[in-house]
Structure 1
């Protein structure tokens, strides 16, 4: 059939889609609109975070400062995210068991780790047998807590740091120190202490600070670096003597206790706990978690809770935390190399 326009000229027949009578471009637009409506809930769901419980891995047994920090953070994050944050303890292998579990987990923000100086800085140079690269396997989110260690001795060993240093220099290799394991913060603090003070000690590693403190109290080892929550009760009970803190300045929880830098210039070791996700976790999720951590760590009740345990609340953005971790990796690699530290 020929269609004529008003002037009697031939007019091409409008192309229509089969069976609908609609112009093809209208049909395509309708299909696209329908697809958008169908896919919209799926896209929104994919972008939703968290969409299920978050598992926060602690690479230690329950009870230590890392576990305490993780549980405090988890309870507050659960409230803010309206989703459960479950703390799981996966101890062993100098923190590598928990770290590997997270490093090989889906990078969706639902599996995180409360890392430490040992797991995310020291092990980068100490452990060559890992099935993941500590430097690249994680996405830093935020530092959570920081705290100094306390140098404690059996009361029969010395009454001051000055006296202890004199005894150790007169008797190289005689005095022993304990730690919760090779590569832990306490171990590395003692190794740095030897480098900067020029003394020589014998390391006795334990599987946790509990048995180490038992032997220190019993006189089977001479000294140790330990955290305030576990060391101070023993000091207050007269079973151990505190000689100094490892922070650059005196600590608020015990201002009468000298800083080691007062006797060993520039000595400073600050233990830390920080939140990490598997690498390739979407930046939007990392940023969201970082902002939530910063808000939680600024809460007055959280600050007070940590202060009572000798710790400070942290909180920083992923870029700042990443720079800090890289500096820690470099610093402790030098200590590992200088003292030829070997894994268990």
Structure 2
């Protein structure tokens, strides 16, 4: 009887142990920017939401070089599904054309999992400048800029940043000239806009929303193809310049060579979480819309973004060597 009890106990332990091992598996998501920003915050929200299906999920911030350091670290990790990275507009759309030598190949070194979200960008003008110059619409801004070439300027978070490239595309399609003033990051650019050192910016809606609502800056248009649900009265730039479309997005990737079945498992976990009311509500506070997708759809989307930004980077003349 004693031997039988020992045997039963051993069998029970053997059956339970694999389940415990699975529950203790840790998935690491490398965020290629510092803590506290929209990419970090939304990734942490999603990490919390998938713990029921993936077990423990930790966030590791690897900031630097426009996101290149963190993306390279994730791309070069073991292809076992336990380390994944965040792909962004910059890392998988802009940087391949902006940097002469990238420490990763966005196509060959990464396996798309799913897009996470999209955040509209918004064309904003200093409220005092808008009143003084009688600029109340995109058409007003374009008309003034054409009559007064070089008198308007715009700020961005730096040469080659999303705001810089969106501004250059706007100028190119509208056919006017304005001086670009680069700053060391998005926050200094926003401060300069608020202080009147620059006239207009194309900023992330999540960053600009509070100052728009406070009346410090005036929203002229969002840059997405459709109007934003959070500010439906703000027109799109495409309503004035047909075909104009730029927004901010990010998603998840695994290192190249990760087994397809592992990628599918990760896709199922994250897309299910992105569709939950809780995640949608948390993202909405950052003006972000969840954008769950298949790995194939996310891959095709990033390819189209690279095609678009190849042209935009050439127009801007920006280069980081």
Aligned to 1:65: 38
Contact preservation (8 Å) 1:124, 1:135: no
* Cα drift, residue 244 of structure 1: 0.9
Aligned to 1:330: 307
Q: CA RMSD in A?
A: 2.1
Aligned to 2:152: 175
Match of 1:217 among 189, 194, 203: 194
Contact preservation (8 Å) 2:153, 2:181: yes
Work out whether 1:274 is the aligned partner of 2:246: no
Match of 2:281 among 292, 301, 304: 304
Describe the shift of the 1:283–1:179 C-alpha distance in structure 2 as closer, same or farther (beyond 3 A).
same
Aligned to 2:101: 129
The number of residue pairs the alignment matches comes to 299
Work out whether 1:94 is the aligned partner of 2:66: yes
Work out whether 1:342 is the aligned partner of 2:315: no
Write out aligned runs for 1:225-240 (5 A). 225-240=202-217
* Cα drift, residue 55 of structure 1: 1.9
- Structure 1 unaligned residues grouped into runs of 5+: 1-40
Work out whether 1:76 is the aligned partner of 2:49: yes
* Cα drift, residue 304 of structure 1: 2.3
* Cα drift, residue 166 of structure 1: 1.4
Normalised by the length of structure 1, the TM-score is 0.81
Equivalent-residue separation in structure 2 for 1:221 and 1:178 (angstroms)? 6
Equivalent-residue separation in structure 2 for 1:181 and 1:279 (angstroms)? 31
Aligned to 1:6: none
* Cα drift, residue 56 of structure 1: 1.4
* Cα drift, residue 67 of structure 1: 1.8
Work out whether 1:52 is the aligned partner of 2:25: yes
Aligned to 1:32: none
Match of 1:253 among 230, 243, 249: 230
* Cα drift, residue 138 of structure 1: 0.8
Equivalent-residue separation in structure 2 for 1:172 and 1:109 (angstroms)? 53
* Cα drift, residue 296 of structure 1: 0.5
69-78 or 305-314, larger mean C-alpha shift: 305-314
Equivalent-residue separation in structure 2 for 1:137 and 1:255 (angstroms)? 39
3-state DSSP of counterpart to 1:220: coil
- Structure with bigger RCO (C-alpha 8 Å, 6+ apart): 2
3-state DSSP of counterpart to 1:225: strand
* Cα drift, residue 229 of structure 1: 2.2
* Cα drift, residue 268 of structure 1: 1.2
3-state DSSP of counterpart to 1:157: helix
Contact preservation (8 Å) 2:39, 2:250: yes
- Structure 2 unaligned residues grouped into runs of 5+: 1-13, 131-135
Describe the shift of the 1:139–1:49 C-alpha distance in structure 2 as closer, same or farther (beyond 3 A).
farther
* Cα drift, residue 49 of structure 1: 6.9
3-state DSSP of counterpart to 2:149: coil
Computing the radius of gyration from Cα coordinates, the structure with the larger value is: 1
Normalised by the length of structure 2, the TM-score is 0.86
Describe the shift of the 1:111–1:308 C-alpha distance in structure 2 as closer, same or farther (beyond 3 A).
same
Aligned to 1:10: none
3-state DSSP of counterpart to 2:189: helix
Equivalent-residue separation in structure 2 for 1:165 and 1:302 (angstroms)? 39
Aligned to 2:267: 290
158-167 or 325-334, larger mean C-alpha shift: 158-167
Describe the shift of the 1:173–1:162 C-alpha distance in structure 2 as closer, same or farther (beyond 3 A).
same
Equivalent-residue separation in structure 2 for 1:71 and 1:184 (angstroms)? 24
Contact preservation (8 Å) 1:50, 1:110: no
- Note the alpha carbon deviations across 1:291-340, whole angstroms, 9 max, x for none: 11110011012122223322111111111111111111111112112332
3-state DSSP of counterpart to 1:253: coil
3-state DSSP of counterpart to 1:207: coil
